[in-house]
Amino acid sequence: MANRVINNYYGEIIISDKFKISKTTTKEEFISFFGEKNVSIRDMNNGYIHYFIRNINIQNSNFSFNLVFNQEHLSSITFNFDTLPTDNWDNWSEEKELKRLEKYNNWLNHQIGSKRDYQWGNIGAYFDRKGGWTSMVLRYL
């Protein structure tokens, strides 16, 4: 496997040599690769359905992914890595989340450089003050 997790030319997340998540990935392909018992599904009852998978080891980091489908089309992927099982509201701090934001931005810079907008969509790292979490988001047009 190449040393990159993100293919910015095609807007892909490279899970392994055998599986990549891209704009054309279907719900069925995602579930088939990871196994039905490992994927959590949340239907928002508005056309959007979220598919969650956690603790996917890629290049010695544990990633979590949330694929958001609008009808049958993948619209975005929210993901993060190396969050700890001990991360909870009792030990949450904005300072810790801002450090995570810096870590994710540095990781993206290493993966794809500083460009964040592409023909297929965009990618970035974000801190949501209201929600209290930090993640990366890949959005398809």
The domain spans of the chain are: 6-140
Q: Using one digit for the tens of pLDDT, what is the confidence trace for 34-50?
A: 999 999 999 999 999 99
Q: Using one digit for the tens of pLDDT, what is the confidence trace for 113-141?
A: 999 999 999 999 999 999 999 999 999 99
pLDDT at residue 55 tops 90: yes
20 forms beta bridges with: 14
pLDDT at residue 110 tops 90: yes
Closest among 66, 70, 85, 38 to 135, alpha carbons compared: 66
Q: Give rounded-to-5 percent helix, strand, coil for the chain.
A: 20, 45, 35
